[in-house]
Amino acid sequence: MPVYLVRMDHPDGEGWGQHVAAHVLYLRRLIQERSLLASGPLKGTSLRSGFLIMKGANRQEIDAIIAGDPFASEGLICDLRIEEWDPLFGCLSNHATGKLPQELKSLFPS
Protein backbone atom coordinates (compact mmCIF):
# COMPACT_ATOMS: atom_id res chain seq x y z
CA MET A 1 0.00 0.00 0.00
CA PRO A 2 1.49 3.39 -0.94
CA VAL A 3 2.92 5.70 1.72
CA TYR A 4 2.22 9.44 1.71
CA LEU A 5 3.90 12.37 3.43
CA VAL A 6 1.36 14.96 4.53
CA ARG A 7 2.18 18.44 5.80
CA MET A 8 -0.60 20.54 7.29
CA ASP A 9 -0.20 24.19 8.25
CA HIS A 10 -2.73 25.72 10.60
CA PRO A 11 -3.48 29.27 11.66
CA ASP A 12 -2.63 29.84 15.31
CA GLY A 13 -5.38 31.03 17.59
CA GLU A 14 -8.64 30.17 19.25
CA GLY A 15 -9.89 27.77 16.55
CA TRP A 16 -6.75 25.64 16.74
CA GLY A 17 -6.97 25.48 20.52
CA GLN A 18 -10.65 24.51 20.42
CA HIS A 19 -10.15 21.63 17.99
CA VAL A 20 -6.68 20.25 18.69
CA ALA A 21 -7.98 17.59 21.11
CA ALA A 22 -10.50 16.32 18.53
CA HIS A 23 -7.73 16.32 15.91
CA VAL A 24 -5.46 14.21 18.12
CA LEU A 25 -8.28 11.78 18.90
CA TYR A 26 -8.87 11.45 15.16
CA LEU A 27 -5.17 10.73 14.64
CA ARG A 28 -5.27 8.07 17.37
CA ARG A 29 -8.14 6.38 15.51
CA LEU A 30 -6.13 6.47 12.27
CA ILE A 31 -3.23 4.79 14.08
CA GLN A 32 -5.55 2.02 15.27
CA GLU A 33 -6.86 1.64 11.71
CA ARG A 34 -3.21 1.45 10.52
CA SER A 35 -3.58 4.29 8.02
CA LEU A 36 -1.35 6.62 10.09
CA LEU A 37 2.21 5.45 10.72
CA ALA A 38 3.54 8.55 12.50
CA SER A 39 2.59 12.14 13.22
CA GLY A 40 3.82 15.15 15.10
CA PRO A 41 4.30 18.91 15.09
CA LEU A 42 7.03 20.60 13.09
CA LYS A 43 9.39 22.78 15.08
CA GLY A 44 10.50 26.30 14.18
CA THR A 45 7.77 27.06 11.64
CA SER A 46 5.95 30.38 11.34
CA LEU A 47 2.55 28.64 11.58
CA ARG A 48 1.41 25.68 13.61
CA SER A 49 2.39 22.82 11.35
CA GLY A 50 2.18 19.06 11.52
CA PHE A 51 3.64 16.22 9.54
CA LEU A 52 1.95 12.87 9.01
CA ILE A 53 3.19 9.65 7.42
CA MET A 54 0.16 7.81 6.10
CA LYS A 55 -0.73 4.66 4.15
CA GLY A 56 -3.59 4.44 1.70
CA ALA A 57 -4.66 2.59 -1.42
CA ASN A 58 -4.29 5.80 -3.46
CA ARG A 59 -4.21 9.58 -3.24
CA GLN A 60 -8.02 9.79 -3.23
CA GLU A 61 -8.15 7.68 -0.07
CA ILE A 62 -5.63 9.96 1.65
CA ASP A 63 -7.65 13.02 0.55
CA ALA A 64 -10.78 11.46 2.08
CA ILE A 65 -8.99 10.69 5.34
CA ILE A 66 -7.69 14.26 5.58
CA ALA A 67 -11.19 15.61 4.79
CA GLY A 68 -12.46 13.71 7.86
CA ASP A 69 -9.98 15.44 10.18
CA PRO A 70 -11.65 17.96 12.54
CA PHE A 71 -9.10 20.57 11.47
CA ALA A 72 -10.32 20.16 7.87
CA SER A 73 -14.02 20.25 8.71
CA GLU A 74 -13.45 23.41 10.79
CA GLY A 75 -11.48 25.13 8.02
CA LEU A 76 -8.27 25.12 10.05
CA ILE A 77 -5.87 23.90 7.37
CA CYS A 78 -4.42 26.87 5.52
CA ASP A 79 -1.87 24.85 3.54
CA LEU A 80 -1.83 21.15 2.76
CA ARG A 81 0.83 19.22 0.87
CA ILE A 82 0.57 15.52 0.10
CA GLU A 83 3.32 13.57 -1.65
CA GLU A 84 3.62 9.87 -2.36
CA TRP A 85 6.82 8.51 -0.82
CA ASP A 86 8.71 5.23 -1.07
CA PRO A 87 10.58 4.64 2.23
CA LEU A 88 13.19 2.29 0.77
CA PHE A 89 15.65 2.60 3.65
CA GLY A 90 15.37 2.73 7.42
CA CYS A 91 12.76 1.86 10.01
CA LEU A 92 9.79 2.29 7.62
CA SER A 93 11.28 0.24 4.79
CA ASN A 94 8.79 -2.57 5.46
CA HIS A 95 6.24 -0.20 3.87
CA ALA A 96 8.36 0.34 0.73
CA THR A 97 7.69 -0.95 -2.75
CA GLY A 98 11.09 -2.62 -2.81
CA LYS A 99 11.68 -1.25 -6.31
CA LEU A 100 15.16 0.21 -6.25
CA PRO A 101 16.17 2.80 -8.83
CA GLN A 102 18.40 1.22 -11.50
CA GLU A 103 21.36 3.29 -10.23
CA LEU A 104 21.17 1.60 -6.81
CA LYS A 105 20.62 -2.03 -7.80
CA SER A 106 24.34 -2.83 -7.80
CA LEU A 107 24.52 -1.80 -4.12
CA PHE A 108 21.82 -4.31 -3.15
CA PRO A 109 22.36 -7.56 -5.10
CA SER A 110 19.53 -10.08 -4.79
Distances (CA, A) of 108 to 74, 86, 104: 47, 16, 7
**How does residue 110 score in pLDDT terms, banded at 50, 70 and 90?**
low
CA dihedral 81, 78, 67, 16 (to 10 degrees): 120
Q: What is 3-86's CATH superfamily?
A: Dimeric alpha+beta barrel (3.30.70.1060)
Residue 45 reports pLDDT greater than 90: no
Nearest Cα to 8, choosing from 65, 86, 85, 90?
65
> H helices of 1-110, where?
14-32, 59-67, 70-73
- In sequence order, which residues have a C-beta less than 8 Å from that of residue 93 and are 6 or more positions away? 87
Side-chain-side CA neighbours of 89 within 13 Å: the count stands at: 5
| CA nearest to 3, candidates 76, 91, 72, 75 | 91
**Mean pLDDT, rounded, of the chain:** 92
pTM for the model = 0.89
What is the predicted pLDDT for the residue at 24?
A: 95
In this predicted structure, what is the pLDDT of residue 30? 98
Q: 49-86: per-residue pLDDT in tens?
A: 999 999 999 999 999 999 999 999 999 999 999 999 99
Per residue in 31-40, pLDDT tens?
Answer: 999 999 999 9
